[in-house]
Amino acid sequence: MGDAAKVMLKVGKRTFPVRLEHDPRQKYHKLCFGWSYFMGQCKLNEGDVCNFELVDEDRFIFQVRVATCVD
């Protein structure tokens, strides 16, 4: 695995530390350590859509907006 960075995901007034890993061979990034906790606290379900907006480049803070899937 390549580089990893700690990022903060912000939903409303709550923030969640999550690790963002980069695999240069596969050319993708993935959220790991802390992501499952974030999902549980935000009650995310399959089909929900998260929009990530980088709001602080220096501290790697993302504002997250969740659109809940409606069947």
pTM above 0.85, yes or no: no
**Model pLDDT for residues 37-49, shown as the tens digit of each residue:** 999 999 999 999 9
The pair of structure tokens assigned to 31 is 């959220």
Q: What is the CA radius of gyration of the chain?
A: 13
Q: Structural domain tally of the chain?
A: 1
Domain range enclosing 9:
4-67
CATH code, domain carrying 23: 2.40.330.10
In the chain, the DSSP E strands lie at 4-11, 14-23, 28-31, 49-56, 61-67
Contact predicate 62/54, CB 8 Å: yes
- pLDDT one-digit tens code per residue, 24-70: 787 778 888 999 999 999 999 999 999 999 999 999 999 999 998 77
What's the pLDDT score for residue 23?
Answer: 78
2: confidence class by pLDDT, cuts 50, 70, 90: low
For tokens 């963002």, what's the residue? 20
Q: How far is CA 47 from the centre of its chain?
A: 16
Q: Which amino acid is at 62?
A: F
